[in-house]
Structure formats: structure tokens, C-alpha cells
Structure 1
Amino acid sequence: MDADNYYIYKNSWIEHFNKNGYSVFGIDLQSHGESEGWENLSLNVKEFDDLVYDVLEYIQKVQDDNARYMNYSSSSYSSSSSSSNSSSNSSSNSSSNSGSNSNSNSNSNSRGGESPRNDNSANRMIAPLPVYLIGQSMGGNVALRALQIVGKYRGLNRRLNIRGCVSLSGMIAVEALGLPSSYIYKSFFMPLSRFLSDFLPTLRLLCEMPYKRFQYIRDIGRFDTMRYRRGITCRFAYELLKAMDNLDHDMRFMPRDIPVLFIHSSKDKLCYPGGVVSFYNRLNIRNKELHMLNYMEHMLTMEPGNERVLSKIMNWLYNMSRPQRITA
């Protein structure tokens, strides 16, 4: 990102994904960036799962837009082919039956001239794009939670077609709080955060990001004009704790046929590496990988060595992009 807050595409992760045939879609989560927050407050949410449902809804929108585009392109191509066929048939004195058949094929594709944008039955014939979720820090929790919701609602993934998930420095546990399954987490931190959420919901908690090796990451955040700097609300803090607890509690809903890649730094002082290892060891799915790094800290997409992380992801995507049967 440059001094004017414009994203620099050249040599970015997005450019690398595009060059390898992947389109990249993203949104500002509720109360982040330019998105509105609950009660018009930044860094404030009613429920953490609202963020997850927004992501799932966005994936469905991408699939629907792609289906409309593919149908429109197909219909335009069919109409163009029919017109050229009709012209060539006339000049070569072809029989009227041949011309009639061409017109019939064209009409069946475009419903007698109706705009294909409204052709829902045709949209359903387009196979959904394969989708791979990638989330960093809190976004890693959102991505993993999205899989759990897909696992809870059987058949949902037939429309979304999520084929894999990558968690980068995922917010599975916070080092200062310990594991969500621990006694102190459930008996002290959760009740305390809920009390503050109920009685002081809009009070803001300021916390300095514990970057030690790459402190310039903190400076980048300070200069980001879209980043809210006054801290999260007590309501949001409680929802974050509840999100980690829910993710741990609902592990059984993780779809067994959707591969997951975890990449985490052993030196991460924000999102607890031990929590990721614990989650990974208990995760009962067919294909999972965990890469622990010792040369980075927390912001794996920005710190020195991020190109090695990107290479790991690209290799994983290459291995995972083969056709898979969707059962969730």
C-alpha cells in the first residue's frame, strides 16, 4: 500500500495468484475498513458469526454473478453463431430446414430473445467455481468457522463449492488468554468479558500489537487511513472470545472432505501457536497440513519471508485443485 492508501498490485500476492489462474475476491468485514459496524460503530459487532455469514453470502454472490456472465456469454456466442450460419445458408442456397434448426437452437439458448440475465434455470446449469478460502489472524477464524457452518447445513456446499481453506496465523487461541478449552478461559475470561459486554458494550479497549521482530508492521497500521485506531468495543472483545470458544466446541462440524492448510509462526505473540497445534491435532478431517515457521511473527502476508509463505500456498493449491467430490 502506498502513501495515498492505494493498494500496489505489482509484485503483490494478488498479482501472483492472477498469473497462476486464480481470481481473488475480498470484502471489508463488518465494522472494518469502509464497512459499517453494528450501531454505526467501527470495530463493533452484534455477533461474530454475522461476519462469517457475510463471507458465505459473498461467495454465493460471486457464484451467481459468474453463472449470469457465463450464460450471457454462451447466449451471445450462440446468437452470433446462428446469425452467421443463417447468412451462410442463404448464400449457399441451403434448405429452409437447416435454417429453421439453427433458429431453434438459438431460441432454446436465449428463451426466444429473453435476456439471459433473468434465466435462473440456465444459471443452475453452470458448474460453480471452485473456491478456496484464505484468512489471516481473525480472518483465519472466520474462514474456519465458515467451514463449520457449511458442515452444519448439509447441501450448502453444493452451491458454494468450497474446495479448501488456508488459515494464516489463525485466531484459534490468544496467547494471553490460553486455550479456549482451559478452565480459566471458561470460568474467568468468558464471564468477565460478558459482564463488560452487557454493562459497558461500547467502552473501547486499547491494545498495542505485540510486534517485536518487525515493529514496522505496527507503523504501517498507524498510517493506514482505513484502519480504526481507538480500539475494539467490549462487545466485540466478548464476541472474539466467544468465537474462539465456538470454533473449538464445534470441531465435529468441520467437513471431512475439505482440506485445510495451517501456516503459523512459532514466534507469534498474538495468536497462540500452541492453540493451533492443539486444534490441528484434534481435527478429524481427511486432508490437513500444518506448517510452523520460525523466521516470521504474525503478519505472514507482509513480513520478510512472505514470498515463502505464498509459495507454500501455491504448491498446496496445485495439489488440491484436482476434482473432488462435494458431499457437505
Structure 2
Amino acid sequence: MQQRQLGPFTVSAIGLGCMNICHAYGPPVPEADAERLLLTALDAGVTHFDTAALYGFGASETLVGKVLAPHRSRFTLASKCGLFGADLKGDGQLVRVIDGRPATLRANCEAALQRLRTDVIDLYYLHRWDKQVPVEDSVGALADLVREGKIRSIGLSEVSAATLRRAHAVHPIAAVQTEYSLWTRNPEIAVLDACRELGTAFVAFSPVARGFLCGPLDTSAFDAKDIRRTMPRFAPDNFVANQRLLSPYLAIAQEVGCSPAQLAIAWLLHKAPHILPIPGTSRVDHLLDNLGADAVRLSPDVMARLEALINNKTVAGNRYTEQANREVDTEVF
């Protein structure tokens, strides 16, 4: 597989997002299936695994640690802090919390090290900037963890170019992670260029547009807890409008000779050398299909046609709800 720079690390150009095994798109997969997925990815050449405290409220980190700790020297490990599950009422029910205070980030890290069964996390992101805490304070706390040898590098998730620059002035930022695909083009406003200028890698999550760019979807079949049920682009009217983009997109994939998912990931790989997509999946067949994007070559003409077909003006609906939009710091069209 192609190799790209992720801060100080050289990793596979396509990584694995480890949210889907326990969070967001349905019930957690059986542990044996998660183990098979992670080990298949490792054996297929994936050397960039991305997880977070939020995913399954620690379940993803626990699985990654249990399965991959014996192979720790073979891959670069990324996780995230500052967005997690907390028992606020003392009734055993965990709720989603954003907290970027230094003491909280340190506690997040200590817990993550235990779950991941490692002495050091290679890349540790501030999962959300807590707007009640200056980003300089949160990054300063992570810089202390670098100096103590608990983490090797610092990342930020869902931030603007301006916030990236503020953080980078405190400590070098190895990576910014934000949603980026043909149907979510917000990074093109400013943060992609800022990353290029600062030498920061850009990690693209949801590169296949929450599954939309994999082929026809039946939204009525989504699990009751599937996060797409609340996403505006999957609301009935918007989804009908967006489906009109799919047929010409699938025709381009057929013309290129690749799967729809491969086309979406290959588009990202062709956009710039500092972009690293991390498609997530719970299925081995989808994993192997995604990794096949590494061999897909797209002409400038195909790139231009894709971008003219699916972009911020042709996609109906916002990527997030109003509440979720308030929690992120990314630029918007």
C-alpha cells in the first residue's frame, strides 16, 4: 500500500476507523468478528488504527487494546480525548460529555492507556474543542503528556484553520481529523491549506459519506440507534434529492472499473498527499474493498467530473444537526 506521513509517523495511506465495531451505526459486532476485522486489516498492510474514548464509551479502545496489543510495534495508534461518556447523575447511565479541562484530558489519557494496553499513544487528538476552555490550555495539557512520554504527538478534530493556528503556536499539531468526502467539502474552505502550510496531516473520516457513496441505501432499514436517522442529509426529502446523484456516480465507478467505495476513497487520495482517509467498517469484505482504493488511478477528467457532480451546492441538507454543528469548530459554506 502507498505510505503517507502522519505527523512523525509513516503509515499506510488508508487507515482503519474503529468506531463502527461498537458504536454509531448499529449494535456492537460480536467480539470475534471485531477481532477478525482488526487482524485482517493489520495483515493487509494497515498501519494506522484510529479509535476514541467516545466510541462505545470505551468499548472500541478496549477491543483495540485486547486484539492489537500483542502486535503494538507493527502499527501507529491514534485515539482521542475530551469527548467521552460520563455518569453525571450517579445512576450508572453514561452520557456524552465534552470537557477539555487539563485535568480531564489527563484522566482521559490514563484511562485510555489502560484500555489500550499500551504505555504510549502515538497520536492523541482533542476530539472536540471545548469552547469553555481556551484551546491553548487544552493543547498545553496534551503537550505535558508528550513531555511525560504518555503520548507521542497531538491532533485536533473538527477545528477551523484559525483554531489550528492557535493550537500550533503552543505545540506542533501532527494531524487534524475532520469529515471529508465528495459530499462534505468544508475542509476545502481553509483548513486543508492551513494543514499543508503547517506540515500537519489531514485525516479524513467518513470518506464514503456515511455509506451513501457505497451504493443504494435503504434508510428504513437503519438500526434504531443508527446516527444517520438524525442526520439532515438522510431525512426523507433531502435523501430523495441526494439519491439523484447516485446513478451518475455509480456510472463513473463502472467506467473507472472500481467499486463505488473505492472511487470515493481514491478521490481523496488523489486530492493531496497530506490527506489520509480512515474508512470505518464492521465487515471484512467491506474492509478489503476499501483497501483496494489504493490501486485505483483517476484521471484529471474523472476528478473534475466527480467534483462537479457531488459538492456543497448539489448535496441537500446539512451534515449535522444544529446541536452537533454548535459542538464543532469547522468552517461552513
TM-score (norm 2): 0.30
TM-score (norm 1): 0.30
